[in-house]
Structure 1
Amino acid sequence: MQKNFSYPIKIEDLKQSDYKYELTADSAELEDITQVLQVEKVHEFKAEIFLKLNNRANNLRVWGNVFAKIELKSVITLDNFIKNYNVPFELNFDTRATYNDIKELECNIEDEVPDIIENGCINLADIAIEQIALNLEDYPRAEGEVFDSALYGDSEEPKKENPFAVLAKLKK
């Protein structure tokens, strides 16, 4: 995903216990995250991530909180503004499953399908960035901004004459 901000964890190195990781991006890493998220600027990025491996169930539970201070451009005023994100998350990885195994599963849309671990490794930085990316607005606007169509000349559409009005006049 990105070059500098990376925190890979090999699943084979984990023991069956709880782990806690605290990630904080430095200035070079913040620039990389800015490019990945395609925003104006990322001022701060931190994550507190917990892992719990359960070998019997072939399960790796990953949960935590991601905090980011991001500068966005408003789609209404085109002014930059800063928004704070504080995103809790929880993921479940199947430590033995492959993509083919998941494709073959028969499950309902409500069923929780576990994530897949590729090459025996997960990247905590990628997971943290993904959580923020999933929470970014498609059309960012500063708090309290509302699109006022009257300001931009779209308040009313011109009224079209009814094509049958001519016939109604002839009938009279």
Structure 2
Amino acid sequence: MSDPWNRIVKLHEVSRGPLKLTLEAGGAERADIARRLDLESLSSFRAEIVAAPWLDGLELSGRFDATVEQICGVSLEPFEASVTGDIAVRIVPAGSAHAPPPEEGDLEFDADSPDAPDVIADDAVNIAEYLVEHLSLELDPFPRKPGVTFDYAPPTEGLSPFAALRKLVEPKA
């Protein structure tokens, strides 16, 4: 079993100013990520990230690029696809005055308001895990190989498995 992909940044490391990071998963890490995300393979995964101070936590922003191999949901053939995405996450430590209050009762969702910051238990943020999470959100849940179409023709009346039963129930003329 390979080690998970890690890139830990402590909150105090960004307190003096933004950190510009380039992360690229190696072969063992890509194999582990592909297994976790149920991909055939992950031939590349690279990101340019800025970790900047935000209130008493940090803000991650940047972009990632990956090349994934998935199975077509129509033809069941493997195919490669390029996946790109942006990341923008705010993170605060537990006990922060800026942490969202515990939710009670029904949750209200406002698509126009910014997301609440993530709360971490200690002062360490695994940026690689945030990248894997954002990659999983960008993957097509119903992958289709380019050029493949799904042609469905409903069965004709006489070929239906219930056609024989229908003949038994219908009155004879």
Q: Give the TM-score of the pair, scaled to structure 1.
A: 0.77
Determine which of 108, 115, 118 is the counterpart of 1:115: 118
Cα drift, residue 103 of structure 1: 1.1
- 2:136 and 2:78 map into 1 onto residues whose CA distance is 18
**Relative to structure 1, is the Cα distance of residues 156 and 27 closer, same or farther in structure 2, using a 3 angstrom cutoff?**
same
Deviation per CA, 1:82-127: give whole Å up to 9, x if none: 00001012111124547x9531589841242111123211101101
- What is the SS of the residue equivalent to 2:16? coil
Q: CA deviation at 1:51?
A: 1.1
Unaligned runs of 5+ in 1: 167-172
> Matches of residues 10-89 of structure 1 in structure 2 within 5 Å?
10-54=10-54, 57-89=55-87
**8 Å CA contact retained: 1:149, 1:155:** no
Letter of the structure 1 residue corresponding to residue 50 of structure 2 = F
The structure with the greater share of residues assigned to helix is 1
- 1:150-161 equivalences under 5 Å are 150=153, 154=154
In structure 2, the gaps of 5 or more residues are none
What is the aligned-residue identity percentage? 23
TM-score (norm 2): 0.77
Structure 1 residue runs of 4+, over 4 Å off?
104-108, 155-158
Aligned-partner Cα distance in 2 for 1:70–1:143? 14
Query: What is aligned with 1:3?
Result: 3
Q: Could you tell me which residue of structure 2 aligns to residue 131 of structure 1? A: 134
Separation in 2, partners of 1:114, 1:30: 28
Correspondence 1:146 to 2:149: yes
What amino acid is aligned across from residue 103 of structure 1 in structure 2? Answer: P
Aligned residue pair count: 157
User: How much does 1:81 deviate?
Assistant: 0.4
Report the RMSD for the aligned CA atoms in angstroms. Answer: 2.7
Which amino acid counterpart does residue 91 of structure 2 have in structure 1?
F
Q: 1:77 to 1:16 in 2, by over 3 A?
A: same
**Higher mean displacement: 76-85 or 134-143:** 134-143
